[in-house]
Amino acid sequence: MKTIPATLQAHYDEPATTTTYLCRMQCKDGTVLGFTSLDADLTFNDGAGPVLYRADNGFRADRMQATADLAVDNTDLHGWVADTGITEQQIRAGLFDYARIRIYRVNYLDLAAGHEIIATGTAGETKFSGSKWSLEFRSLTQQLKQPISKLYSRTCRAKFGSQPVGTAGEQPTERHPCRKAWTWIAGTVTAVNATEPDRLFTDTGLTQAQHHFVPGVVEWVTGQNAGAQMEVDAFAAGAVTLTLPLAYPIAAGDTFRIRQDCDKTFSMCGARHANTLNFRGEHLIPNDGGQSMVPGAQIERA
* pLDDT(55) > 90: no
Does 83 fall in a domain?
Answer: yes
23 shares its domain with 126: yes
Q: Is residue 24 domain-shared with residue 140, that is, in the same domain? A: yes
Residue 67 has pLDDT above 60, yes or no: no
Separation between Cα atoms, residue 52 and residue 38, nearest integer Å? 12
**Domain-located, residue 156:** no
Same domain? 138 vs 185 = no
Q: pLDDT tens-digit profile of 243-262?
A: 999 989 999 999 999 999 99
State mean pLDDT over 75-97: 66
State the amino acid at position 82 in one-letter form. A
Q: Are 12 and 139 found together in one domain?
A: yes
Query: 14 and 116, same structural domain?
Result: yes
Question: By residue range, what is the domain housing residue 118?
Answer: 6-145
From the list 230, 218, 293, the residue with the least C-alpha distance to 257 is 218
Q: Domain check: are 21 and 93 in the same one?
A: yes
pLDDT digits (tens, 9 = 90+) for 105-122: 999 999 999 898 887 888
* Model pLDDT, residue 31: 81
81: left (phi over 0), alpha (psi -120 to 50) or beta: beta
- Straight-line distance from the first to the last Cα atom of the chain, in angstroms, rounded to the nearest whole number: 39
Residues 6 or more apart whose CB falls under 8 angstroms from that of 135 comprise: 76, 77, 78, 79, 96, 123, 124, 125, 126, 127
Q: Is the confidence at residue 126, as pLDDT, over 90? A: no
In angstroms, the CA 102 to CA 116 distance is 10
Which of 79, 110, 145 corresponds to the end of one domain?
145
Query: Residue 290: what pLDDT?
Result: 44
119 & 202 share domain: no
Confidence of residue 146 (pLDDT cuts 50, 70, 90): low
145: buried, middle or exposed (CB in 10 Å: 19+, 13-18, 0-12)?
exposed
Domain count of the fold of the chain? 2
pTM for the whole structure: 0.57
Last residue of a domain, one of 145, 175, 191: 145
Residue 84 in this model has a pLDDT that exceeds 70: no
Q: Are residues 74 and 109 in the same domain?
A: yes
User: Strand 185-188 to strand 216-220: parallel, antiparallel, or no bridges (unpaired)?
Assistant: unpaired
- Indicate if 133 and 173 belong to the same structural domain: no
Per-residue model confidence (pLDDT) at position 240: 95
Whether 195 and 131 map to the same domain: the answer is no
Residues 140 and 221 grouped into a single domain: no
Report strand pairing: 173-174 vs 163-164: parallel
- Is pLDDT above 90 for 235? yes
* CB contact set of 58 (below 8 Å; sequence gap of 6+): 35, 37, 78, 79, 80
pLDDT at 22 over 60: yes
User: 60 falls in which pLDDT band (50, 70, 90)?
Assistant: low
